[in-house]
Amino acid sequence: MGSNRGIANTHTTEAPYKRQQGKPQLAIFGIGLFSITSFVIRASATRDEDDHEEGRVKQHIRALAKKTHIGCNHSFIADAVEKAMGAVVNISVETETSTLLKKKSLVSSGSGFFIDENGSILTNAHVVTDMAPGSILTVTTTDGAHHEGFIHSLDTLSDLAVVRIKPRSKAEGGWPVLKMSTNINLRSGDWVVAIGSPFGLHNTVTAGVVSSGRRRNEELGTGSSTADVRVEYIQTDCVVHEGSSGGPLLNLDGEVVGINTTRADSEGISFAIRADNAMDLVHQLHTQGRVVRPWLGCRMVSLTSQVRQQIHEQGPLTMFIPPTNTTGGVIVTSVFPGSPCDKAGIIPGDVIVAVNGSSVRSTREVFTRMGLKIHEPVTFTVKRGIALDMDYDGRSHRWETQELDIRVTPDEFDVQIHKD
């Protein structure tokens, strides 16, 4: 009895022990399985995050490439040229030197591009101004075909001209037309492309970058009393020679941003008339055959701090002393007798600060605000300095400033009368 009880006691004590010993082993196995599962889940999640991040980066790169037009595309210039090439032409002016031998001498050559489907071509005026009676104007299209052309209209002040050739037949369709950019916001360093025919080499392409999207006549040294102050230029480092004059300057969308017109004496600098400046002038040339410009009959200069200092140092020309509290604007330096400004009461020393209610800070802004209309009144807001006392030498120590609204009615500008 005693021994059986011992055996029984031993049995009853071992079984609970074995059961208790199995629980820790199961727990350890469960923890390990959980850890492995967690690792797999975290690894999978990490891969998902990496894939998502990689996709996001690729999407950003594609968007950036699309925005810059270049990206990894090495043919971005060729793409722009391909859109425009068919509308670019070569223009040559020849004169017969021998009627008997039918010899011809090249007078001038340049480039141009179609601005309508009926055969109107925009070019530089200097390309065709040397035409004499009996001269022959030939337009060569990109397919090598020669067409007889004639001058429809030209404007020497802006150096723009419209040349025409015969329209195509209905079966052939209209001539290819280049698209003019309506939003020219060029930055320094932007890529541009010039197409022309230097040295008679048709379809010549050069590319470069923009140095300045706006250069004025006076900056180029081409300013004169008859220069059109509305015209501004794009400065680039595209190679432009005489045969390229009148050809298009393109952005990377193949749109016209300028009309190539001249180059500096040093290589690496060329200029193109801004297309947005030219459009109003081109429209008048195209529809009216000439450009009508308003004439005020006064000389004026932008009132910069340097100009103000020069005027004060000139004394005793008291009429040239601008109001001391006037900043910006345009100062009138002289008025022609009997001119629109003279009739309206504008006098030397007046500072024009607004035109039709819009402020102005340069002579270009004055003419831009006026537009190209003539015989329609324009309101100039003028500040005038009135001397309250004077010394024996004509200098004044006290001034009063008057602000006046003066209505001026511009006449038509006649370039023949107002030549330099």
Active site residues: 126, 159, 245
Could you tell me which residues are beta bridge partners of residue 93?
108, 137
User: Strand pairing of 330-335 and 351-355?
Assistant: antiparallel
Longest dimension (CA), the chain: 155
Cα 375 versus chain centre, distance: 31
Distances (CA, A) of 123 to 8, 137, 161, 345, 381: 120, 13, 5, 41, 38
Q: How many CA atoms lie within 13 A of 8 on its CB side?
A: 5
Q: Which two tokens stand for residue 122?
A: 């925009």
- What is the DSSP annotation of 273-300? EEHHHHHHHHHHHHHHSS---EE--EEE
**At 401, which helix (H) or strand (E)?**
strand 398-408
Q: How far apart are CA 267 and CA 413, in angstroms?
A: 36
Secondary structure of residue 143 in the 3-state scheme: coil
Phi, psi angles (nearest 5°) of residue 3: -70, -40
Distances (CA, A) of 323 to 67, 312, 383: 49, 11, 7
- Residue in 135, 138, 134, 128 with CA at minimum distance from that of residue 108: 128
Q: How far apart are CA 379 and CA 104, in angstroms?
A: 55
Q: How far apart are CA 172 and CA 8, in angstroms?
A: 116
Q: How far apart are CA 196 and CA 236, in angstroms?
A: 15
Q: Which two tokens stand for residue 420?
A: 């330099």
CA R_g for the chain:
38
Q: Which residue has the tokens 């030397």?
A: 348
**At 164, which helix (H) or strand (E)?**
strand 160-164
Q: How far apart are CA 228 and CA 230, in angstroms?
A: 5
Q: How far apart are CA 111 and CA 161, in angstroms?
A: 11
